[in-house]
Chain A
């Protein structure tokens, strides 16, 4: 039994010794490495290189949203004669993309297009991949800014929220009581949108609209369903509901379509065409919005190719052409905005499948 203690002591002390080397606290190391500097200069007139090898890495494979984005990426690949390869983990855990990032570097790909599961967990691997010459474009969900070249933002908060107010105003005919059915009370993006909506509603053109309540369905189908019911009972004069969350808008539409309020109380929000198709067709919902993931994948892939061809470096103010989507300009912090969300109505909804 003496051996036991010895071994135990060795194991533990060995581990402890490995960790001891000076006092490192949060305060003493607050200065993280700043953004990367791009030594190379952009040449806007450089031709798009052919045969570029681009890896498309979604949060997880077999996720309908990313499958649609992948279609866009492949369309861009065909347009610029690049070889686009889609790969990725089957689970959306924080760290499961790292293996695939390392593999892309190992396969000497020219660029990586990724939607990050965790902004920081992928950062070390992305930095290492960039060190090996890969251009990194994030889309949908950004990584730490110093770990990528460009981030393709689907839409700004302003565009999303202002668009939602415009849609509900059109639907209710410019006046009446409206309510918001949000996700969770502490969701960053939801709260940002709600703030912008309030600012929008204060404008003279929306003076007829009155926001009476903001309810939270917690992005849970059942809760959102019940909250919709509650809103309608609490406010008999309610004319419209905005639900800027895919879960909420679908649940609200389901309730409305089976109730006496169908067609009387208007609904709009952010939803996917496949979820909302039958409610648009049966007249419950006139219009709703969401960015088009196909375009998102297309723009991200095109941007990656532009980076790999040397047309841009990711610096603010650089302009480049993204095929059929037209010209884009890189904004602050290396961000490119796809553009206003796509509005879906009875007339165009059948063109979309996601």
Chain B
């Protein structure tokens, strides 16, 4: 645990470094309210999906279908809207559909005992395919301004985007669930030693199923945010976003092997990736460099925590 805390300290330190160099190199526009608003908008969906995905990865599983659930949710919103449904009915419906998608993942993983990596690579294609069936390659865009405003304007009187408010509320809920409840303790126990967890009476399959359902439901919520933010319901919305989310979670210090990690670290990881990207674009860095930096950061995200951990074990070993 102490090693993990050390990685999170490093993340916060990195964040401060990025913020300060950004502030200096852009003459103060990096930390201006307007830019922070855009930054918040850009990381909204990633922050949302990262929350349940953290729990999934801590439990030793993975869900790569989240971005496809986002796309399916977006396509469904467009399709139901065209069919004349009211948004108040559409939104709960797509969240339920997202939860069902998650439940299907969870069912294949827990009941049939299939590896989640293989299952969710399959459903990644399946859900995206369904999205294309639902909406084809058309876009639905005539949503009322009262809804799309949630994705384009800040909370009155502040520079805080609504998606970030939503993410913050969910972050508290997920934080409590992971770090301050028996449910969270069983998630860690499963990730650290599944056999042990089972023998100590934790209902492993049930916990995992719940985690997949949560991931699906939150991915659908992210689909709603995405759709209104761009006021455009499309089947290809959020294509490839799962990689950004997994990157942020891993950068946040969550072990891909399960059992280790904290939600705080993940939020710092999301901020660091988003902030760095925003800063590079603001400084007119070319796309090639942007891609390389993101790739390197990904490598660091996997390497660094394991290095700090090793250094930690070495220290413990040598008196």
The reply to whether A121 and B139 form a contact with Cβ atoms under 8 Å apart is yes
- Among the 9-residue stretches A97-105, A215-223, A229-237, A312-320, the one with 4 or more Cβ atoms under 8 Å from chain B is A97-105
Q: Which are the 6 A-B pairs with shortest beta-carbon distances?
A: A120-B141, A29-B144, A19-B91, A121-B232, A121-B230, A102-B38
Interface residue A199 (Cβ < 8 Å from any Cβ of B):
no
A119 to chain B: which residues have CB within 8 Å?
139, 141
Cα(A27)–Cα(B286), bound, Å: 44
Bitwise, A1-25 to B at CB < 8 A (1) or not (0) is: 1011001101110111011111111
The reply to whether B182 and A1 form a contact with Cβ atoms under 8 Å apart is yes
Give the residue name and chain of the A residue nearest to B282 (CB): A103
Q: Of residues 87 to 146 in A, which have CB atoms within 8 Å of B's CB atoms?
A: 87-90, 93-95, 98-100, 102-103, 105-107, 118-125, 127-128, 144
Interface residue B125 (Cβ < 8 Å from any Cβ of A):
no
Contact of B34 among A32, A90, A106 (CB under 8 A): A106
Cα(A337)–Cα(B181), bound, Å: 64
Interface residue B204 (Cβ < 8 Å from any Cβ of A):
no
The reply to whether B230 and A89 form a contact with Cβ atoms under 8 Å apart is no
Count of chain A residues with a beta carbon within 8 Å of a chain B beta carbon: 55
Task: State the B residues within 8 Å of A (CB).
Answer: 29, 32, 34-35, 38, 41-42, 81-82, 84-88, 91-92, 95, 99, 139, 141-148, 151-152, 166, 169-170, 173-174, 176-177, 181-183, 203, 206-207, 210, 213-214, 217-218, 221, 224, 226, 229-232, 234, 236-237, 239, 277-278, 281-282, 284, 286-288, 290-291
Give the residue name and chain of the A residue nearest to B277 (CB): A99
Closest chain-A Cβ to B205's Cβ sits at a distance in Å of 13
Known pairs A7-B177, A24-B146, A28-B144 / 20 extra A-B pairs, C-beta < 8 Å? A16-B91, A18-B166, A24-B87, A24-B88, A29-B143, A29-B144, A29-B146, A62-B287, A93-B236, A94-B139, A95-B232, A99-B278, A102-B38, A102-B42, A103-B282, A106-B32, A118-B234, A123-B231, A124-B229, A144-B141
Cα(A87)–Cα(B289), bound, Å: 12
Give the residue name and chain of the A residue nearest to B29 (CB): A106
Closest chain-B Cβ to A122's Cβ sits at a distance in Å of 8
Closest chain-B Cβ to A240's Cβ sits at a distance in Å of 33
Contact of A15 among B139, B144, B217, B237 (CB under 8 A): B217
Interface residue A30 (Cβ < 8 Å from any Cβ of B):
yes
Cα(A144)–Cα(B99), bound, Å: 34
Give the residue name and chain of the A residue nearest to B150 (CB): A18
Cα(A90)–Cα(B295), bound, Å: 14
The reply to whether A7 and B82 form a contact with Cβ atoms under 8 Å apart is no
- From known contacts A18-B166, A106-B35, infer whether A12 and B88 are also in contact, taking CB-CB under 8 Å: no
The reply to whether A103 and B281 form a contact with Cβ atoms under 8 Å apart is yes
Q: Can you report 15 A-B residue pairs in the complex whose CB atoms are below 8 A from each other?
A: A3-B177, A4-B177, A7-B177, A12-B99, A18-B166, A21-B88, A25-B85, A26-B81, A94-B230, A94-B236, A99-B277, A102-B42, A106-B32, A107-B29, A121-B230
The reply to whether B84 and A26 form a contact with Cβ atoms under 8 Å apart is yes
B234 to chain A: which residues have CB within 8 Å?
94, 118, 121
Contact of B152 among A22, A88, A124 (CB under 8 A): A124
The reply to whether B231 and A7 form a contact with Cβ atoms under 8 Å apart is no
- From known contacts A94-B139, A94-B236, A100-B281, infer whether A7 and B173 are also in contact, taking CB-CB under 8 Å: yes
Give the residue name and chain of the B residue nearest to A23 (CB): B86
Contact of A11 among B42, B214, B239 (CB under 8 A): B214
Give the residue name and chain of the A residue nearest to B140 (CB): A120
Interface residue A33 (Cβ < 8 Å from any Cβ of B):
yes
- From known contacts A95-B237, A100-B281, infer whether A11 and B173 are also in contact, taking CB-CB under 8 Å: yes
A29 to chain B: which residues have CB within 8 Å?
142-144, 146
